């Protein structure tokens, strides 16, 4: 199996079909599986997924009786994957090109020293399209550990292609489940210390930001938990690998700014 594409689903009956269709639209490569894992949805997401599964044997459907949360859901999904490369498409997002798999797999096959390839991604926030990617002239060779710590590397889960052997060698996801609250940020912070990242210069996915979510909230308590959660992740990796003094200074400023945003109810990007 060349690739495994993970789609996790939770109460997004309005969007999960679009995500599945965007993955099934891949025209130039066919040796892949789609792992769709529903995390205890209470809407009709499961019924929608079953309809797609009935007509396409690429889809492997699994579901949890109760909501377990994003980290435990991904732990289950990783164990189910059989592909040489791992890809993602969150249930409320979608891929925007039908040769995404081919482009990233071709690059990874030709560059065995690269553990993660990504591509340019656009964001749809409250109906407005935003290009959040690195500029074209800066795409290659700019992603670094410090840039990831600062949070301005413009990486999105929908763009990842991770070599499975690299993931298995360096990621203890059981530890991440216990210690962290978001699945992809600690993974890329760990992997960038062991392998090369490369961002390809094409648009391949749309990241949707609508309403409340773990990482997009205007509720004070939830936002405080988010800020403290990211601070915990960054502190862990700084103590483990170190970083530039300028990065520590920037993160201290950003933490103070974000705490102030809660007090003032003025949300910063």
Q: Do 82 and 18 sit in the same domain of this protein?
A: yes
**All residues at 6 or more sequence positions from 221 whose CB lies less than 8 Å from its CB, including other chains:** none
**183 within a domain of the structure (yes/no):** yes
CB 185, CB 214: distance < 8 Å = no
Both tokens assigned to 78: 């990783």
The pLDDT value recorded for residue 154 is 77
Residue 269 lies in a domain: no
What pLDDT is recorded for position 138? 45
Q: CA 27, CA 192: separation in Å to the nearest integer?
A: 31
Residues 6+ apart with CB under 8 A from 86: 3, 4, 6, 78, 160, 161, 162, 163, 164, 167
Structural domain ending residue among the three candidates 164, 186, 209: 209
Query: CA nearest 38: which of 80, 67, 59, 3?
Result: 67
Domain C-terminal end among 209, 233, 248: 209
In CATH, what number is assigned to the domain containing residue 124?
3.90.550.10
Mean pLDDT of successive 10-residue stretches along the chain, which has 269 residues: 93 92 92 93 91 89 80 90 95 94 97 93 81 53 81 85 97 91 91 92 86 62 86 96 96 91 68
- What pLDDT is recorded for position 87? 97
Residues 64 and 108 in one domain: yes
Residue 215 lies in a domain: no
Number of domains observed in the structure of the chain: 2
Largest CA distance in the chain: 55
How are beta strands 59-63 and 128-131 bridged, if at all? unpaired
Residue 185 falls inside a structural domain: yes
* pLDDT computed for residue 116 by the predictor: 94
Q: What is the spatial distance between Cα 265 and Cα 258, in angstroms, rounded to a whole number?
A: 10
- Domain of residue 172 covers 3-209
* 47 and 102 belong to one structural domain: yes
Shared-domain flag, residues 86 and 36: yes
pLDDT of residue 231: 94
Residues 117 and 196 in one domain: yes
pLDDT at 214: 55
pTM, to two decimals: 0.90
- Same domain for 198 and 229? no
pLDDT for res 67: 78
Question: Are residues 80 and 172 both part of a single domain?
Answer: yes
Same domain, 71 and 162: yes
Distance of CA 160 to the CA centre of its chain: 7
143-189 tens-digit pLDDT: 789 989 998 777 889 999 999 999 999 999 999 998 888 889 999 99
DSSP helix/strand/coil, 204: strand
């Amino acid at each position: 199996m060349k690739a495994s594409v993970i789609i996790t689903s939770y109460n997004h009956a309005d969007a999960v079909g679009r995500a599945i269709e965007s993955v099934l639209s891949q025209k130039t490569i066919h040796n892949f599986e789609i792992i769709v894992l529903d995390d205890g949805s209470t809407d009709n997401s499961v019924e929608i997924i079953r309809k797609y599964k009935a007509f396409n044997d690429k889809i492997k459907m699994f579901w949890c009786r109760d909501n377990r949360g994003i980290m435990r859901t991904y732990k289950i999904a990783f164990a189910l994957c059989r592909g040489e490369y791992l890809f993602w498409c969150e249930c409320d997002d979608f891929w925007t090109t039908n040769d995404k798999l081919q482009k990233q797999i071709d690059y990874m096959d030709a560059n065995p020293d690269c553990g993660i390839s990504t591509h340019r991604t656009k964001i749809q926030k409250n109906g407005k399209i935003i290009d959040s990617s690195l500029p074209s002239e800066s795409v290659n060779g700019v992603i670094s550990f410090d840039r990831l710590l600062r949070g301005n590397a413009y990486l999105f889960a929908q763009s990842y292609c991770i070599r499975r052997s690299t993931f298995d060698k360096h990621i203890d996801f059981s530890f991440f489940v216990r210690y962290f609250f978001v699945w992809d940020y600690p993974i890329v912070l760990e992997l960038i210390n062991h392998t090369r990242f490369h961002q390809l210069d094409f648009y391949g996915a749309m990241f949707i930001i609508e309403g409340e979510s773990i990482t997009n909230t205007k509720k004070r308590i939830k936002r405080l938990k988010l800020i403290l959660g990211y601070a915990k992740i960054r502190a862990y990796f700084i103590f483990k690998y170190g970083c530039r003094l300028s990065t520590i200074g920037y993160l201290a400023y950003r933490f103070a700014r974000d705490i102030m945003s809660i007090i003032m109810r003025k949300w910063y990007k």
